[in-house]
Amino acid sequence: MAKQSANPQDSSASRLEKILAYMSAGLIGTSVLAMLATLIIAATESANPEVGSSVLPPFLVFYPQFGLAAGALCIVSLVITSVRRRSRENK
C-alpha cells in the first residue's frame, strides 16, 4: 500500500512542473497553428497560375521544426521531474 501524505499540499505539482507543462502546451500549440497557417497560405496562393510564386515568411517555415522539438523536450523533462518528485515522496 502506498504511503499516504499527511498534508495534501505536499503532493501538489511544483512550480517547475507547471512551467514545463504550460511551455510544452504553448510550444506545441503554436507550432500546430504555424503549420495550419502555412497550409492555408499555400492553398490560397495556389490559385495563381505562376508556380512557386508565393514566398512564405521564414518564421512560419522554421518555427514548427524547432517548436515541436522544444515541446517534446519539455514533455520529457516534465516526466523526469515528476518521476523524481514522486519517488522522493514515496521514500
Q: Domain-by-domain residue ranges, the chain?
A: 16-44+60-89
Q: Tens digits of per-residue pLDDT, 25-76?
A: 999 999 999 999 888 887 886 555 565 556 777 888 899 999 999 999 999 9
Grid cell listed for 42: 499555400
pLDDT at 77 over 70: yes
Q: Tens digits of per-residue pLDDT, 11-25?
A: 577 899 999 999 999
Phi, psi for residue 84 in degrees, rounded to 5 = -65, -40
Grid cell listed for 85: 518528485
Q: Across residues 71-85, what is the average pLDDT?
A: 95
Q: Could you write out the DSSP letters of every residue in 17-86?
A: HHHHHHHHHHHHHHHHHHHHHHHHHHHHHTTSSSTT-----HHHHHHHHHHHHHHHHHHHHHHHHHHHHH
